[in-house]
Chains A and B, each alone.
Chain A
């Protein structure tokens, strides 16, 4: 039964069926399936599949928005239960967001899924996040890592301004900054003074673990 439910959850997330995803996660929890398994084999598998379809040009931005919505709704149900159990890697907190002017949600959702799965506590600021919101979140949550995502060459330039503002406000010293997204590169990360560049979701996890 577990395997079947994981597959249904995964499919609902991939296809952006938000209500179905929530219903099935609730059902899985009631039936006693372990939250970490629901997350990894259901929700993360579903959003990863959406990522594959996006890469293969079979999914487009609207599909991705729907899948990310379903992912977030399902995770919202699961998150409190994860905290009770084997979920959170104590002391490792990450604040993440997609920079202003950019609404591409999938990459960030994938990285968040993987980070959460790896046990990090992730605070998701969402998409199209203005500079000041990053600064406020860095001050309020005092994360170990600030993750900045961008999908467009125009918007990735926002990252430089955010890092400069963190420096200006005296927040940079205790904070590691990771950047990622299609147009970014290691060279770009070095240029703007980021601590790490995540080539993809897996690479982001590996780098985050080392920071």
Chain B
């Protein structure tokens, strides 16, 4: 990214005063978030780590253990697709629990996974036995290096460290049913679990990130999505926990700590049960956890939602005559399993409903490893073509053909990441 401050100013001016010319990708995002809209609807980079690994054909046993390889691979794949703002992610739920000694399952083809059948925390006494996280253990140094490299590779204000938020950590450490039983039946134990997660497991990791110069860190919390937790439970347990971590990070580390990302995300799977009132409650709670006020959707079955509801919520809760920005996430499985035409039709529908008055950002919740690249390319092309301001009166008149793209390997030749990626593919002799 060029000078981030200039990009912010350019976005601010375009979005609020003078919508003239073409914006850089990051200024486009700032214009959308802080003004009415940019030149086109931006498409933010999704969580793409295992998909990027698959596209670049690098082995999982190297990729998830080598910060340089992971960052370079994602930067290259995200640029190949053409997302407006890059984002580096990894299997960020696993780092703290792995360093504390949880049994992990490693594979040649997929990300490391916690073996939830052998929980790290079975009873209260385990909290004392485990003690505090040692930041030299497991892949904590790799996680710190990923965060450091993200900041040096041009992500600018979008660079951040990653960690596992407290409730998700608890679920991975005890199993989800036990975590929920504690919240419902044994709040004293639940408080001990949160205290352990925040202060003994997560904070030492944040401290290590801060020592490496990381200025902000984001904690994913998919286990706290609805219906795993009700919005009321998120409000009671997850929001205060996130605020505690935020406060401690600010005070002791001078770091912006954002826990609870994806908590209260509406993830009901059964379309017959979609409920506007519950969705509104979820989005209202989500707002308490976000660094800036917006309507956020991440992992839900959004392809089957009535997007008029999202628009209504954003308009209703907006200020100064402007709706809240909408972070509209195409469901990852939808992107994987649909035809390019179905994806284009869905994007057309969404831009028609939510894009005309601006403040719309596209995103994909999580691009599955085996999603066809043509679908991702087509989604980007469709958003950038259909989402050009002023939005065309008749979007159905704009045709989008499945995107013809240069194969990744061909494109990669001559790119700065080429050597690292090609070398990683070589088998040890």
Contacts and interface: CB of A to CB of B under 8 A. Distances in A.
A128 B180 contact: no
B180 A182 contact: no
Nearest to B230: A60
B181 interface: yes
28 contacts: A16-B184, A55-B273, A57-B273, A60-B227, A60-B229, A60-B230, A61-B180, A61-B227, A61-B229, A62-B183, A62-B229, A65-B176, A66-B180, A66-B184, A69-B177, A103-B175, A103-B176, A127-B177, A128-B117, A128-B175, A128-B176, A152-B269, A153-B269, A153-B301, A153-B333, A154-B333, A182-B269, A183-B269
Interface in A32-71: 55, 57, 60-62, 65-66, 69
Interface in A111-164: 127-128, 130, 133, 151-154
A154 B267 CA distance: 12
A62 B180 contact: yes
Nearest to B178: A65
Contacts of B184: 16, 62, 66
Contacts of A60: 226-227, 229-230
B181 A66 contact: yes
Contacts of A127: 177
Interface residues on A, range: 20 to 34
Given A60-B227, A62-B183, A103 B273 contact: no
Nearest to B185: A66
B117 A105 contact: no
Interface of A: 16, 55, 57, 60-62, 65-66, 69, 103, 105, 127-128, 130, 133, 151-154, 182-183
A127 B177 CA distance: 10
B225 to A, nearest CB: 10
A57 B271 CA distance: 12
A182 B228 CA distance: 16
A62 B233 contact: yes
Given A62-B229, A153-B333, A105 B270 contact: no
Given A16-B184, A66-B184, 14 more contacts: A55-B273, A61-B227, A62-B228, A62-B230, A66-B185, A103-B175, A103-B176, A127-B177, A133-B117, A152-B269, A153-B269, A153-B301, A153-B333, A183-B269
Contacts of A62: 180, 183-184, 228-230, 233
Contacts of A152: 269
